[in-house]
């Protein structure tokens, strides 16, 4: 089980070949993924071919400028890769093979990364446990009876289980950070507009971002540095200089001058005590490393949940309208054209997706728009202002990723609202568009990883990485690996 | 009891951009095989995003300016949600409450010389949907996505038109304007300009708006005129017979020239509009706007008025010469090159050049007969270098060869023969060959003079100075 930077080093030195590395990953997947179910699609043959190609390129000048040359990576199955099935965890896209590759994936490929396959997700990224996948849940590598979090649970589990050193996920309301926390890995949700959404099958268009999982902040920074940047195919990517984050390798950098805000609204009743303790201990550690810690307030935090579930579902109700059985995916036959629409959508979408489409349709309907969608947009502005005001006082905000550690599979089966509450600490960053970084800071009594979240200013992923990296140089939580009993 | 019609028109104008509004596909699919101008973006494949074509905004701004509308510095795109197989995303990207332009009007001259000012209630940019048709052979419904994402301007007038002729005139003027400013080919038969008409009637003098019907599928100006006329008559008959007009949607059947009821007015559709999160607001900076408006030409009615004033042209001439922009440009260029009486240029254009344009299907700008060459020809005729008939034949020769009139006159020896001896020889020859006619003439049939002149001209390939030929003939015969 190599980390991404370890793999990079060994590949560069010629101590291992990409074929050896990819083969080892494939063997581990073959041995363990039956139990975990991180992958929905594995392209073993293609990956080995790409590995041989990478090994050849290694000897060329071009290879010297490919930072991910020969490194295996997994892609959440809501991102398109030309020629690879893309199901979005849904029956409605069963058998669909997209004709184009997502920009972020293309950038990884151009940097030499090897795509092993597509990872499991809650259907259309709607969920916090990966249990809403139409193809069965993913299991948490730390405890196979528990959820890996979601919706990018497949990617988080794939990294935690050592199947790949890094994987892409997407984060609309916490779908990278929460599974990173549950699976004990580092996960970044970049600033909205920092990375292309072209080829990301949309859930909540104004919230969706492509994130990355890896074993450390340093590893995640390498991948993020490759895939971020403005894309002419995505009008919402911002025209800011590309991030190229190089973290210092010596453990000497001080955190002096960095101001950490601890928002009181994120340390509330209902948070598992071990989670609060571990997060506070990590903040204390950062203070010891030189950071300046103070309490701050994000007063509109409590509204993030209803605002999110109005805006995300409203956008989803339109985004998912294209799945009508006309052009791709299965078509359920019917008497009339409308009958085909109703039956295809009724039968092929899962419960949670239909629930959110209905919720969003309702929120946008005449007579309800002002009270729901319109009002939610106003409150979203207030939440964004909370962050603007806090970032005048501090450089980052530190808090738990989720109220609890990984919950058992099926724990929220009959209670969608309880599942929605999993996201209360991650939703605000999406609503405000700010970056968030989740990384492990301890374990609970059951041996489950605890994650902490840092949120920063728009386009200031660098400070989040710097802080987490320094913390990881001084601690070993991120090095812990699950023992997977098959 | 006297009734008057109250008519508003809803038009969709296809902009003539190279590519579609949100992707790089070719916009014009006329004569293209179904589903050949499509890509993942315009067919709404999962994961795609729209990117706004700036040319659409530019053409929209030009149109808004030409319609005297208020151009908005910031406008937004919205999603209009509805299901239909020809709408691949399940929503149409349109503009709703913050469109590119607000207000505006078009002044429409009527046959009686009055002007009807037609106000604009709504003007916005949007993408077109595809087309569906039933295939009777297989019993299936076929979809062509070529038209998906073709840029449109939707423009809705107020209920300002008072007759079918006024409605037709509005469309004629709109079509002229669209072509004039170069934003649309505006060919109704090809769907570049589509029109739905809202029609109601009321007693003259009333200001209320009665229940209206909506006429769809009127694909030519004549169809608009006929369909509205018939609908006005039907509504008046309803009222006169004590009935009432219901809010139907009617479909015009071109084959039978009749209106058919499509549906009763259903409850107002709920399109659940909301801001398109995949696109940024359209920020029309002053700099950009100024640059766009630099290309806005003088508008047809303004130019028509100026032609009357500046060149002292009759209204009729000015109207005809401003029917199309390149023709009016051509006229002015010729006037400048000619330097003489503009009415003389107008006569040449209206009598001869227009016929040539009709015959060749060219626009004035495409003629090899440039304004300078035309001015040369008129001057040669004025100076007597060639006679009028030769001048006219030169138009064709110059346009076919692209050579200058002077060159052709020189090469073909077309210059008028004014030499008395040369003409006299031909005159004597003609008279010698026509003893019967000479006798008739001498017996009083003086009307034969024209025939004699014609014979002389014929023998001299039209180059003879007709005045001199006539004088010599008279001298010989009397």
C-alpha A371: how far from its chain's center? 31
Domains, chain A: 4-259 (3.90.1300.10)
pLDDT at residue B445, rounded to an integer: 86
A234 contacts B49? CB cut-off 8 A: yes
Q: Would an 8 Å CB–CB cutoff place A341 in contact with chain B?
A: yes
B205 closest CA partner among B162, B241, B243: B162
A175 is an active site residue: yes
Give the pLDDT band of residue A251 (cuts 50, 70, 90): low
Give the pLDDT band of residue B28 (cuts 50, 70, 90): very high
Of the candidates A18, A128, A152, A175, the residue annotated as catalytic is A175
A221 closest CA partner among A4, A448, A455: A4
Query: Mean per-residue pLDDT for A168-185?
Result: 98
Biggest distance spanned by C-alpha atoms of chain A: 71
Query: Mean per-residue pLDDT for A37-57?
Result: 97
Query: Mean per-residue pLDDT for A360-383?
Result: 94
**pLDDT over 70 percentage in chain B:** 99
Determine the residue of chain B that is closest to A206 in CA distance.
Answer: B277
pLDDT at residue B237, rounded to an integer: 96
pLDDT at residue B474, rounded to an integer: 84
CB nearest to B278's CB, from A205, A326, A328: A205
Mutate to test the interface with A, among B139, B274, B275, B280 (most CBs of A within 10 A): B274
pLDDT above 80 (res B421): no
pLDDT above 90 (res B438): no
B45 contacts A327? CB cut-off 8 A: yes
Chain A closest-CA separation from residue B191 CA (Å): 25
**CA distance linking residue A9 with residue A21, whole number of Å:** 12
Chain A closest-CA separation from residue B176 CA (Å): 35
Give the pLDDT band of residue B292 (cuts 50, 70, 90): very high
pLDDT above 80 (res B417): no
**CA distance linking residue B326 with residue B328, whole number of Å:** 5
Task: Please provide the distance, in angstroms rounded to a whole number, between the alpha carbons at the two ends of chain A.
Answer: 17
CB nearest to B277's CB, from A93, A205, A321: A205
Give the pLDDT band of residue B15 (cuts 50, 70, 90): very high
Quick: pLDDT tens for B371-389.
999 999 999 898 888 888 8
Quick: pLDDT tens for B464-473.
778 888 888 8
A201 contacts B46? CB cut-off 8 A: yes
pLDDT averaged over every residue in chain B:
93
Element (H, E) at A109: helix A103-110
Q: Would an 8 Å CB–CB cutoff place A234 in contact with chain B?
A: yes
Domain boundaries, chain B: 3-291, 300-412, 420-477
Partners of residue B273 in chain A, C-beta under 8 Å: 364
Q: Are the CB atoms for B22 and A306 separated by under 8 Å?
A: no
Quick: pLDDT tens for B385-403.
888 888 898 999 999 999 9
Q: Would you give the DSSP letter of residue A201?
A: P
A326 contacts B88? CB cut-off 8 A: yes
pLDDT above 90 (res A261): yes
pLDDT at residue A486, rounded to an integer: 60
**CA distance linking residue A78 with residue A82, whole number of Å:** 13
Chain B closest-CA separation from residue A95 CA (Å): 13
**CA distance linking residue A118 with residue B321, whole number of Å:** 66
A318 contacts B45? CB cut-off 8 A: no
B120 closest CA partner among B180, B74, B177, B53: B177
Write out residues 4-23 of A within 8 Å (CB-CB) of B: none
pLDDT above 70 (res B252): yes
Query: Mean per-residue pLDDT for B151-167?
Result: 97
pLDDT averaged over every residue in chain A:
96
A98 contacts B45? CB cut-off 8 A: yes
pLDDT at residue B418, rounded to an integer: 66
**Secondary-structure class of domain B420-477 per CATH:** mainly alpha
Mutate to test the interface with A, among B24, B49, B132, B280 (most CBs of A within 10 A): B49
**Measured CA distances, B53 to A235, A396, B127, B293, B312 (Å):** 11, 38, 11, 18, 44
Mutate to test the interface with B, among A84, A123, A318 (most CBs of B within 10 A): A318
B46 contacts A98? CB cut-off 8 A: yes
pLDDT above 90 (res A451): yes
Quick: pLDDT tens for B73-97.
999 999 999 999 999 999 999 999 9
CB nearest to A235's CB, from B89, B272, B278: B278
Cα dihedral across residues B307, B309, B313, B319: positive or negative: positive
Query: Interface pTM (ipTM) of the complex?
Result: 0.96
Q: Would you give the DSSP letter of residue B33?
A: P
pLDDT above 70 (res A250): no
Count of CB pairs separated by less than 8 Å, A with B? 105
Partners of residue A102 in chain B, C-beta under 8 Å: 47
**CA distance linking residue B139 with residue B199, whole number of Å:** 36
CB nearest to B90's CB, from A324, A369, A373: A324
A80 contacts B47? CB cut-off 8 A: yes
């Amino acid at each position: 089980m190599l980390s991404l930077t370890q793999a990079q080093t060994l590949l560069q030195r010629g101590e291992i070949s990409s074929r050896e590395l990819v083969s080892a990953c494939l063997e581990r997947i073959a041995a363990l993924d039956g139990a975990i179910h991180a992958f929905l699609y594995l392209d073993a043959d293609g990956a080995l071919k790409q590995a041989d190609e990478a090994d050849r390129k290694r000897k060329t000048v071009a290879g010297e400028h490919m930072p991910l040359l020969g490194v295996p990576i997994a892609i959440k199955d809501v991102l398109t890769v030309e020629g690879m099935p893309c199901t979005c965890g849904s029956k409605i896209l069963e058998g669909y093979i997209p004709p184009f590759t997502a920009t972020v994936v293309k950038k990884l490929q151009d940097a030499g990364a090897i795509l092993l396959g597509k990872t499991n997700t809650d259907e259309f990224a709607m969920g916090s446990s990966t249990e809403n996948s139409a193809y069965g849940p993913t299991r948490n590598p730390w405890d196979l009876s528990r959820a890996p979090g979601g919706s990018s649970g497949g990617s988080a589990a794939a990294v935690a289980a050592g199947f790949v050193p890094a994987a892409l996920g997407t984060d609309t309301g916490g779908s990278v950070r929460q599974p990173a926390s549950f699976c004990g890995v580092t996960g970044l949700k970049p600033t909205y507009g920092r990375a292309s959404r072209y080829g990301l099958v949309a859930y909540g268009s104004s919230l969706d971002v492509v994130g990355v999982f890896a074993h450390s902040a340093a590893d995640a920074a390498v991948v993020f540095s490759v895939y971020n940047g403005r894309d002419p195919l995505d009008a919402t990517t911002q025209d800011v200089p590309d991030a190229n984050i190089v973290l210092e390798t010596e453990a000497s950098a001080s955190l002096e001058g960095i101001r950490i805000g601890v928002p009181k609204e994120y340390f509330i009743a209902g948070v598992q005590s071990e989670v609060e303790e571990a997060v506070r201990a990590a903040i204390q550690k950062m203070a010891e490393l030189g950071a300046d810690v103070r309490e701050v307030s994000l007063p509109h935090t409590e509204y993030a949940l209803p605002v999110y579930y109005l805006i995300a579902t409203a956008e989803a109700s339109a985004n998912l309208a294209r799945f009508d059985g006309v052009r791709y995916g299965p078509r359920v036959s019917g008497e009339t054209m409308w009958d085909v629409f109703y039956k295809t959508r009724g039968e092929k979408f899962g419960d949670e997706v239909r629930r959110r489409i209905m919720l969003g349709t309702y929120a946008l309907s005449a007579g309800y728009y002002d009270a729901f969608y319109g009002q939610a947009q106003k409150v979203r502005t207030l939440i964004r202002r909370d962050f603007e005001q806090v970032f005048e006082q501090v450089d980052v905000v530190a808090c738990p990723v989720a109220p609890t550690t990984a919950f058992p599979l099926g724990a929220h089966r009959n209670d969608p609202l309880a599942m929605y509450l999993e996201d209360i600490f991650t939703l605000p960053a999406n609503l405000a568009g700010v970056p968030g970084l989740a990384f492990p800071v301890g374990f609970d009594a059951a041996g489950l990883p605890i994650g902490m979240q840092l949120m920063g200013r728009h386009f200031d992923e660098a400070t989040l990485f710097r802080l987490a990296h320094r913390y990881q140089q001084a601690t070993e939580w991120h090095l812990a690996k699950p023992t997977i009993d098959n | 009891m006297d009734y008057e019609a109250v008519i508003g028109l809803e038009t969709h104008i296809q902009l003539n951009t190279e590519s579609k509004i949100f992707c790089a596909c070719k916009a014009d699919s006329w004569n293209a095989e179904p589903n050949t101008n499509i890509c993942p973006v315009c067919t709404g494949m999962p994961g795609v995003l729209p990117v706004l074509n700036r040319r659409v905004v530019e053409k929209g701004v030009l149109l808004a300016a030409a319609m005297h509308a208020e151009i908005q510095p910031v406008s937004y795109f919205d999603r209009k949600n509805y299901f239909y197989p020809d709408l691949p995303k399940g929503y149409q990207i349109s503009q709703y409450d913050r469109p590119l332009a607000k207000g505006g009007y078009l002044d429409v001259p009527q046959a009686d010389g009055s002007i009807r000012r037609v106000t604009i209630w709504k003007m916005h940019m949007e993408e077109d949907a595809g087309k569906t048709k039933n295939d009777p052979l297989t019993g299936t419904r076929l979809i062509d996505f070529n038209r998906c994402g073709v840029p449109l301007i939707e423009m809705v007038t107020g209920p300002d038109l008072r007759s079918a002729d006024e409605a037709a005139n509005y469309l004629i003027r709109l079509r002229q304007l669209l072509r004039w400013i170069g934003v649309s080919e505006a060919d109704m038969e090809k769907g570049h300009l589509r029109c739905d008409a809202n029609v109601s009637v009321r007693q003259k003098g009333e200001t209320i708006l009665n229940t209206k019907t909506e006429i769809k599928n009127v694909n030519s100006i004549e169809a608009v005129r006929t369909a509205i006329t018939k609908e006005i008559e039907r509504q008046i008959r309803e009222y006169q017979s004590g009935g009432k007009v219901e809010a139907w949607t009617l479909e015009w059947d071109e084959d039978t020239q009749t209106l058919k009821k499509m549906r009763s007015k259903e409850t107002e559709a709920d399109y659940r509009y909301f801001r398109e999160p995949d696109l940024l607001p359209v920020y029309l900076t002053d700099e950009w706007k100024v640059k766009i408006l630099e290309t806005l030409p003088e508008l047809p009615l303004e130019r028509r008025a100026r032609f009357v004033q500046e060149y002292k042209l009759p209204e009729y001439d000015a109207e005809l010469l401003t029917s199309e922009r390149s023709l009016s440009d051509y006229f002015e260029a010729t006037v400048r090159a000619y330097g003489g009486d503009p009415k003389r240029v107008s006569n040449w254009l209206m009598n001869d050049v227009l016929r040539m344009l009709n015959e060749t299907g060219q626009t004035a700008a495409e003629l090899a007969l440039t304004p300078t060459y035309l001015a040369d020809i008129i001057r040669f005729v004025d100076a007597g270098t060639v006679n009028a008939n030769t001048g006219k034949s030169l138009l064709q020769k110059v346009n076919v060869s692209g050579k200058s009139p002077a060159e052709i006159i020189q090469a073909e020896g077309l210059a008028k023969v004014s030499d008395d001896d040369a003409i006299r020889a031909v005159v004597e020859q003609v008279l010698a060959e026509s003893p019967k006619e000479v006798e008739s003439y001498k017996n009083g049939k003086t009307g034969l003079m024209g025939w004699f002149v014609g014979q002389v001209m014929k023998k001299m390939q039209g180059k003879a100075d007709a005045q001199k030929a006539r004088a010599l003939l008279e001298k010989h015969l009397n």
